[in-house]
A and B are shown apart, each in its own frame.
Chain A
């Protein structure tokens, strides 16, 4: 290692951002725009907007194996990633990690789904963009589970406005406290059957309604990016930049300031701690191409490496002052891991609209927002927290025909749109529990000399009780809407599968029970900020990314103000 003074100066920045996904991209943009000379570290390879999207314009017949992962890929290369079968296919697999190259350990089944590249999972996320209201930030006041969020909706509202105005979110203003409204781009259209169901739910229920999904697919050109062309091939990378990704949006903004140094192939091994100043002084990085270890220095560090990535780094940063992981005096670091549970709901067939069909591929579905445990009237006796239910309707397509049907009948069946069908799929909140945790196995290291992460989490009784209503309410909503042949499903939904893993370095008021304060700043080390999913105090019913963006922008603003005051 070359540690002479000149070299050290070249390796010294105002700020270091670890990670380039949803949170890291935002931290890079905000800090560079505020004038900080910022080093942005990414453990994976470079992915440039448009030019590194190799499949974005491919026809179905240009992809191998009908776009399905092979048996070998499913069993040997992507055994975990391929469980999200809707996302990982021939056209998108290059944006997911090869499980056999990036090992971790499952104490209990946990499907850790990752995208190690510049842009991270912002390239492949679901794009649903929801604000959280005080039904979420104030949830502890109602049920006393976990700890209280140190913020409320009014603390984060201007930052939701700020990030939404930059990324562009389409949706309808629904006036519901559990999904506060923003200044949306025009919503996507519901199809005939969804409009019918919306009407029927309005006639039959006072507590729930069908809304069009809010998504960061832009329905008109916005911020120099082109409008969505309804191809619904987002996870390949969008040639129009029509959905939010770091690559299309925040990183180009950071680049334009001239203040960003983006360094791919850089795994953060540990954070360097200065005992005298009681602050972090920088990071130690392993260059995955040269295997070289390099140290970088800065006044402030933003950890945006994803919930479990960030917590791994903190747990691996063992200092005399912090023998249980950096900044971990509360003992809560690594604990209270949460994720949404789903794979449960109902489907049915609808007789009607036989002369109607859709045109275009809408990149979002509909939603019945949470209608349980949001106030006294909706309190449930058998579980706390709640769920929202996604719904999508359409005519049956190429999956038609009986199992043993063949010949002209089969072909005609497939070539003609089948009956209208609708599926409701419920996403539920999990409660924070201390025993759901991650830790490092210091005796078993990964190819870069970093102890492997062990994940030990399972859903519990509260989630199981909630699932009863998740399935029954899905079927009920189809019943009251006049569906036939309604069938319910309750599939295997191990943690990790929804890719909303969060917690393990939670925010809170009390340094004795939390890792971060209300500014996403470590209680014990004021120049470290954690603004990815690790910071989350409660889980919510789903779709956390917009909240990570808002918290990141808010924390950056605070950090720079504190730096100017000389407090950091």
Chain B
């Protein structure tokens, strides 16, 4: 993502969040632009901590098993782009609040099993369920439209050539089509 695009995204995020969010939260979002600078990718909105929480939460929802998981596909980067460019102000607030709540409880410092329990606890209240549903939708979309997700978890057939309505599932590899 080009720098100017990122700045613009943040400017817009800050603008649209102004009415509904507390200033510490805006600061947290804005601070993200200064953080987590890697060689080939920079986040558009999330801070280093928020990215870590997003990556861990996505992994709990869609873990690596015999096939790759959310972290293998860097789903947190997809979620960063969705916050920056795709979500409504309300969805941004739900997502940022949810991630910050996890951070305040030290979510990323815990084991995978403990993190799994955290997620069960989130589902106990309405706000938590709203956050979970939205985050799960983002994580699922991000993983299964990623190259790793589409080709290594699901099966991707770019140019089928024809349609066959009744093939043996086993012959096709037993996996869901990516598209």
Contact = CB atoms under 8 A, between A and B. Distances in A.
B154 A360 contact: no
B12 to A, nearest CB: 8
Interface string B130-167: 00110010001110111100100110111111111111
B164 A360 contact: yes
Given A65-B81, A359-B157, A60 B145 contact: yes
A362 B166 CA distance: 13
Contact of B147 (A59, A64, A67, A191): A59
Interface stretch (A410-418, A459-467, A525-533, A536-544): A410-418
A72 B159 CA distance: 32
Interface string A409-448: 0111011111000000000000000000000000000000
A411 B161 contact: no
A415 B169 contact: no
Contact of A355 (B136, B144, B158, B170): B170
Nearest to A191: B165
Contact of B165 (A66, A355, A358): A358
B108 to A, nearest CB: 17
Interface in A26-76: 59-61, 63-68, 70-72, 75
Interface in B82-100: 82, 85-88, 91
B141 A359 contact: no
B150 A61 contact: yes
B86 A71 contact: yes
B179 interface: yes
Contact of A416 (B65, B156, B158, B176): B176
Contacts of B153: 411, 414-415
Given A61-B145, A64-B81, A66-B145, A360 B157 contact: yes
A70 B13 CA distance: 13
A63 B142 CA distance: 11
B147 A415 contact: no
Interface stretch (B21-29, B35-43, B55-63): B55-63
Contacts of A354: 169
A404 interface: yes
A230 interface: yes
B119 A398 contact: no
A391 to B, nearest CB: 13
Chain A, interface size: which category?
35 or more
A189 B164 contact: yes
B6 interface: no
A411 B86 CA distance: 24
B168 interface: yes
A359 B170 CA distance: 12
A190 interface: yes
B136 A415 contact: no
A61 B119 contact: no
B116 interface: yes
B166 A356 contact: yes
Contacts of A407: 60-61, 63, 116
A158 interface: no
B87 to A, nearest CB: 6
Contacts of A59: 147, 150, 156, 158
A471 to B, nearest CB: 27
B4 interface: no
Contact of A189 (B87, B163, B172, B179): B163
Interface string B101-135: 00000000000000010010001000001001100
A397 B177 contact: yes
Nearest to B142: A66
Interface in A365-413: 395, 397-398, 403-404, 406-408, 410-412
B178 A60 contact: yes
Contacts of B150: 59-61
B168 A355 contact: yes
Nearest to A358: B165
Contacts of A412: 65
Contacts of A191: 165-166
Nearest to A395: B176
A357 interface: yes
Contacts of A564: none
A398 B169 contact: no
B169 A356 contact: yes
A416 B174 contact: yes
Contacts of A361: 160, 163, 179
A356 B167 contact: yes
A192 interface: yes
Interface in A220-270: 229-231
A192 B165 contact: yes
Contacts of B65: 408, 411-412
B69 interface: yes
A295 interface: no
A85 B175 CA distance: 27
B31 interface: no
B110 to A, nearest CB: 16
A501 interface: no
Contacts of B166: 189, 191-192, 195, 353, 356, 358
A356 B161 contact: no
A414 B163 contact: no
B161 to A, nearest CB: 6
B169 A360 contact: no
B163 A230 contact: yes
Nearest to B169: A357
A407 B140 CA distance: 11
B165 to A, nearest CB: 3
Nearest to A68: B86
A71 B176 contact: no
Contacts of B123: 404
B176 A406 contact: no
Contacts of A408: 63, 65
A194 interface: yes
28 contacts: A59-B150, A59-B156, A60-B150, A60-B156, A60-B179, A65-B86, A66-B82, A68-B86, A71-B91, A72-B85, A189-B164, A229-B162, A353-B166, A356-B169, A357-B172, A358-B163, A358-B165, A359-B164, A360-B157, A360-B164, A361-B163, A398-B144, A404-B133, A411-B62, A411-B63, A411-B69, A415-B153, A415-B175
Nearest 8 CB-CB pairings of A with B: A191-B165, A360-B160, A360-B163, A66-B141, A71-B88, A362-B163, A192-B166, A60-B145
